[in-house]
Structure 1
């Protein structure tokens, strides 16, 4: 469009010179000019030569210019060379056949092209035909109104249109070819163009990487209007295949027809799409608008209506949106309709309704089956109450049963209307309260209080891949908050396990849906029944009650990075021979006292007064300790009664991975391993 529309004016200027001298039957004319200006065109360092043709027919015409500028078309600092033969045909028309060479034109346009110009004074028309390689263009315009042209393009490289694109957009064309039939008008302060086009493998890049396309094919209608105070592009197209990026929307277009309508406006570097309509029959329909800052960042998004059918909607259009939200990889089926708006990167309203939707993250962290109902939220308006339920829910591989919750949006907060219960592993998770602030760019986004009752421990452990504990799990979470990208446990979580209690306080979980979540907190153990606890593992039996703490716990990607642990059983009890051996291996120690090795072989269980073991993990090294110092180490088991047994640990500093291997060997029944 751009290169072709510029050529008629350059060529018309040359032909006008030639026609004037030809009609006067003169030759041997040479004209030079430092600068030549006509409306919309300026040339400097210009030289025009007209002479009789060596064949005796017509005139040889040659024009050169060191620099040619046409600001309205986005062409600047072009070198120009034009030469050929001008003659009359049998109909009395002037015909120019020759070549044109431009230097510095976008995409190498007209670097070496043939040109044919037919000037018909009787019909008041000038026709220009150009061809370079597989590209061709025909231009027709009135001789008395050269600012208006009818243009036909065939196989034009998309890069040749860069000049015109630059007048309405700061992006660039990168690949592909274009066919078009256009009407073009050069105005005093800009340009207007309208017509039909076809694309074959076209690509483009926008500023900041937020607008782009690749291998796009299809066709439609295009309108361009460029003025000093702003530019606009209106597009109604049918696309088949290729990739398209519009801010957070990334489209992997199918081979079948997809209808796309766009209205693009630019002003002072900002770009808006006040009219956006996409229709992909088996995947997605949406209508709305987008806005971008001068830096290419999304400033506004409004979808007045969308209808998504999965899995096609996610595979073709949803990956970019979820990736921006920190989620990657989704398995989905079903259908959802709704609307949403965003301002400055934050939601201001959304609503969705579905009769049946299944969703699951590819890493199995979250999943929901049979989602049904509706939800309606606004940052500024009161919205009617809605209900949303599901058939099954999975959170970190823990299965949850069917439930339904009532919601209401008020004051910018989406709140639970009343408590509801979720069946979990033969027990219940009761959601006592929940409030969500979707518009919060930072600070508290979610707050909830929960209670667990009668959760089957064996089933819970199987879901997490742990050895099965017997009994039930219960507890309460007075307040759980989601602040920024971090889950915070306000107050504490108290779990009733092994006939005792595990209290978790100060817990935070950063980047919960990222690749490397970070968990921190403090854990206190109160009166755990060691008989029940050791029966779970093949460690050996110990009776009594266990107390302890695990302070400053830090897990990265669910693996321990640091902690300070101290475990004590100080109420006495019995310990089996196997448990003694395993405690010895964990501490890297041995049996204290001369006859104890022999005694150990004669008795299956021993009485103890106290058991204590501590570990402070920092980096990859665990600093070990016990009840107190002993000769060459620290005491782990202090015996009671006869035979009296004492277990001493000798290794103060133990490689963490070595310690883990020892614990695994001890609990998997492989016997003690000391390294």
Structure 2
């Protein structure tokens, strides 16, 4: 141990054969290589003859001993010992190792049986025993060391040593042996009930049952060391950042071998991982020391295979949960290979075989995904097929995706058709630019082949609409968390048209998604529209707009909206229920007695409409024309029975208005 260097220097200068002599030395602050100390003392009582009868007694104490982050003290009391060939020896003695401020204690005894050349040592309780063999002058310059552990308590070492390892907790029982011989090191250890934790809580383990064996060669060569190791984990939980590994059902096996060069480069030439058949991988990696510490210089995965759902539950679920996609249901098999060097992806390939993924929150699902994605330094190619795809309750049928190009710029090589009910969503063109950079962007042209609205609204859980839905989506641009529909969207529904212009969506899957658009409505059939929303029956056609529409978290926060009917439509009638609902929205009443109103089911009207300018959660309401009372017409009647609906409430609390609309359509 390093303090013995200090002892050897003193003994070499002061050893005497006078049996009655006594030597006491004290030292203040000192340093020897990486070691430093605050004070040291030596008491030496030389013996009167050859060992063991003439053996000497010596005591050494070093306080404030420091090595890197460790602080503490060392005391050795050798009752029978001496000096031979410049090195101390001890037939019988005791030692104590204390951490700073009493944080941890190791104590034990030293013993060299008569006639033996090795120095034996043991901790109190004999949980750690070992021996030290003096080196052969013609062989390795390092002594031989053998350490045996039997139920060694990992809470025994000083707390400062645990802190020096970057840990706040270290627990468990250790069995096995460590041996240094002929310039090499070998170890065979078993950990039971192991636990560790870092102060930040990001890396931890509990209930660990692990065996570790390996060796290090050419220990005396300062240029390069060769090593190999094999680890087997039979039980225990592990946490590394967002990755949580529950206790394995079958042992996790890890084998690796490589070398360390100049203490600044660790190269693992061979690595094999087998996590109970759920995850298998072969490859290697290189770590290099730089100005900012250790960094990954190279990673090679020659073969990796993941068997779902087991592999996902152990390795993927924790990471996905931190991204908001926890509890995914998975099945199938994925295999992959990868080569990465100095920050540059050289190649990557992943193959899917009967892979199923389903989000428990109902946001997305895919069934029987097959095919491959292959990316080299210069080329990219993807060929994927699936039987079914679900996105937010939209159930698409089987499809095929084929794409190719360069890693930084690729696109579809044929249209992607996603069947939906009796129609389809078709991506005619898709191009990705800057795919390998932070400035990646995507553009596409798409259209909706006509869909029956009744079946689509039933699928989405909406009120049943009649008619057809179709539309075109030219010039859609996706960049980061922003989707811009530069070409606008044209939708055919309710026998009319809806156009969305200047549509921009931000953070669609993140927190507080936002939407901005200009909406134009042209001649929607009121009978179809009111029938779909259970608002009350109206006949005619309605047009209007929602200008400067702004949604936050999918709720309107600003708009200037107006809806109005057309007077050139022959059949314009409104039901009693629709009259009552419009009256409530405008804070007005029908200009017809309640008794008379109940006598008729429907009324002819000349024109009808409502306007709302939403600002700071207040809806500023208006109608189709001013009324002489100071109010406004919501419905202006014609013919007999003549009915006018006049509103008087100009300012309405927006959340209250929305609640009223919901209640009306559910009534």
TM-score interval, normalised by the smaller of the two chains: 0.7 to 0.9
Q: What is the CA distance between 1:206 and its match in structure 2?
A: 7.2
Q: What is the CA distance between 1:386 and its match in structure 2?
A: 4.6
Q: What is the CA distance between 1:390 and its match in structure 2?
A: 0.7
User: Does residue 28 of structure 2 align to residue 31 of structure 1?
Assistant: no
The 1-side partners of 2:651 and 2:261 are apart by 66
User: Is the 2:106–2:156 contact (alpha carbons within 8 Å) kept by the matching residues of 1?
Assistant: no
Query: Residues 590-626 of structure 1: CA distance to partner in whole angstroms, max 9, x if unpaired?
Result: 224xx55454233322222222212233454333222
Task: State the TM-score, normalized to the length of structure 1.
Answer: 0.81
Q: What is the CA distance between 1:307 and its match in structure 2?
A: 0.8
In structure 2, relative to structure 1, the CA distance for the partners of 1:543 and 1:337 (3 Å cut) is same
Aligned partner of residue 534 in structure 2, secondary structure: coil
The 2-side partners of 1:227 and 1:29 are apart by 39
The 2-side partners of 1:270 and 1:620 are apart by 62
What is aligned with 1:442? 438
Match of 1:531 among 523, 527, 531: 527
The 1-side partners of 2:545 and 2:416 are apart by 34
Q: What is the CA distance between 1:49 and its match in structure 2?
A: 2.5
The 1-side partners of 2:224 and 2:634 are apart by 80
**Gaps spanning 5+ residues in structure 2: where?**
48-52, 83-88
User: Is the 1:251–1:316 contact (alpha carbons within 8 Å) kept by the matching residues of 2?
Assistant: yes
Aligned partner of residue 539 in structure 1, secondary structure: coil
Match of 1:433 among 429, 434, 437: 429
Match of 1:284 among 264, 272, 279: 279
The 1-side partners of 2:119 and 2:529 are apart by 96
What is aligned with 1:238? 232
Query: Residues 610-661 of structure 1: CA distance to partner in whole angstroms, max 9, x if unpaired?
Result: 2221223345433322224443543312223343322222322322332122
Q: What is the CA distance between 1:279 and its match in structure 2?
A: 1.2
What is aligned with 1:351? 349
The 2-side partners of 1:327 and 1:425 are apart by 27
Matches within 5 A, 1:514-529: 514=510, 516-529=512-525
Aligned partner of residue 76 in structure 2, secondary structure: strand
User: Is the 1:140–1:149 contact (alpha carbons within 8 Å) kept by the matching residues of 2?
Assistant: yes
Match of 2:178 among 170, 179, 182: 182
What is aligned with 1:404? 400
Task: State the TM-score, normalized to the length of structure 2.
Answer: 0.82
Query: Residues 229-271 of structure 1: CA distance to partner in whole angstroms, max 9, x if unpaired?
Result: 9999864311123344567765334142111245697999999
Matches within 5 A, 1:164-313: 174-184=170-180, 193-203=185-195, 213-222=205-214, 235-244=229-238, 250-261=244-255, 276-288=271-283, 289=285, 294=292, 303-313=301-311
**Gaps spanning 5+ residues in structure 1: where?**
1-5, 670-675
Q: What is the CA distance between 1:52 and its match in structure 2?
A: 10
In structure 2, relative to structure 1, the CA distance for the partners of 1:407 and 1:162 (3 Å cut) is farther
What is aligned with 1:548? 544
The 1-side partners of 2:442 and 2:205 are apart by 37
**Higher RCO (CA < 8 A, seq sep 6+):** 1
Q: What's the RMSD between the two structures over aligned residues? A: 4.3
User: Is the 2:576–2:602 contact (alpha carbons within 8 Å) kept by the matching residues of 1?
Assistant: yes
User: Does residue 659 of structure 2 align to residue 641 of structure 1?
Assistant: no
User: Is the 2:135–2:143 contact (alpha carbons within 8 Å) kept by the matching residues of 1?
Assistant: no
User: Does residue 121 of structure 2 align to residue 128 of structure 1?
Assistant: yes
The 2-side partners of 1:619 and 1:297 are apart by 51
User: Is the 2:128–2:147 contact (alpha carbons within 8 Å) kept by the matching residues of 1?
Assistant: no
Count matched residues. 641
Bigger mean CA deviation after superposition, 631-640 or 338-347: 338-347
Q: What is the CA distance between 1:417 and its match in structure 2?
A: 1.4
User: Is the 2:434–2:440 contact (alpha carbons within 8 Å) kept by the matching residues of 1?
Assistant: no
Aligned partner of residue 63 in structure 1, secondary structure: strand
Query: Residues 318-350 of structure 1: CA distance to partner in whole angstroms, max 9, x if unpaired?
Result: 135435666433110111112246689997653
In structure 2, relative to structure 1, the CA distance for the partners of 1:506 and 1:210 (3 Å cut) is farther
Aligned partner of residue 454 in structure 2, secondary structure: helix
Q: What is the CA distance between 1:60 and its match in structure 2?
A: 6.2
The 1-side partners of 2:474 and 2:315 are apart by 40
What is aligned with 1:361? 359
Q: What is the CA distance between 1:495 and its match in structure 2?
A: 1.1
